Structure 1
């Protein structure tokens, strides 16, 4: 498994993983009609824009065949949380590649870059019903904030896992 910085050549693979992981992770949380409507071309456009503007630290995981099986993205905190500087925006893996420590390697790559950019602390937002939330708890994250978001026409609760000192998460990675 190789972890490396994402390039524009990776957009199709990232978009594919984004869709497939949402369809498996959020089944039963988001409506099936919404999950089934996720469109590769739309996600590719979003990721093309994201790699240029939003996600200053985006990394991918490639299997031995060169297929993208996961990604993580982070950068400056985006929700105007007064004392938080860094944020992991997304971390997704294809279902068959979960629980193999690939997520840990992706998180480490993103967090290492955020540390280099002198972000002192960190937040990660997750849907409260996300079955993978234990991953953040195992890395020492604690819920520091909650909010409601509208997604697929429904309101959902989100929780923000925080690390007051970004170096604390590195101990677990």
Structure 2
């Protein structure tokens, strides 16, 4: 059974491994190959660990933990999500909370893990007083439909710089945040 729990600083390396794996699988052909091959698990882990310790802007990180191996004697992190108060105000976006990351390893998709991670993050944002939430997704991300299925409303587009290349991105918003909480509620316990 997959559990969703608040991440701990000791989880940083496993979180970074999921991050790198997801970026290399999802963004191949979208982002430069040299950039993807140069991703550093150690550097990314340090950033996540620092974020969990500092908790700037009410930041929280949640992990999906799955049993490891047929004997299920251990566990491993197969996905994660994070959110905080918006890092900056964007033109035309007045959302108070921001879902900063959502990654689920390819073999663990379509099991409701992303929805459960989104729900945990949205519940956290609501608990710290955010009445709305938004996120940015690369416009060519093949999983973009997921946010549309969760009733995210497209509210902006722009470009983010990755390896000196402007990459199109799209912003989705849930206002009020209860829309996201309702859209992520489970009818079947997944």
- TM-score, with length taken from structure 1: 0.96
Q: 2:88 aligns with which of 79, 83, 93?
A: 79
Q: Which residue of 2 aligns with 1:52?
A: 53
Deviation at 1:170, TM superposition (A): 1.1
Q: Which residue of 1 aligns with 2:64?
A: 61
CA distance in 2, matches of 1:146, 1:52: 32
CA distance in 2, matches of 1:168, 1:41: 36
Q: Which residue of 2 aligns with 1:121?
A: 132
Deviation at 1:145, TM superposition (A): 1.2
Unmatched 5+ stretches in structure 2: 69-74, 185-190
Q: Which residue of 2 aligns with 1:168?
A: 179
SS in 1 for 2:82: strand
Q: Which residue of 1 aligns with 2:187?
A: none
CA distance in 2, matches of 1:73, 1:142: 20
Unmatched 5+ stretches in structure 1: none
SS in 2 for 1:125: strand
User: 1:111-148, CA deviations, whole angstroms, 9 ceiling, x for partnerless residues?
Assistant: 11111112111101001111110010000001111111
1:131 aligned onto 2:142 = yes
CA distance in 2, matches of 1:151, 1:132: 19
Rg bigger for which structure? 2
CA distance in 2, matches of 1:100, 1:83: 32
SS in 1 for 2:67: coil
1:105 aligned onto 2:105 = no
- TM-score, with length taken from structure 2: 0.87
Deviation at 1:52, TM superposition (A): 2.3
Give every structure 1 segment of 4 or more consecutive aligned residues whose post-TM-superposition deviation is greater than 2 Å. 52-55
RMSD: 1.2
More displaced stretch, 125-134 vs 48-57: 48-57
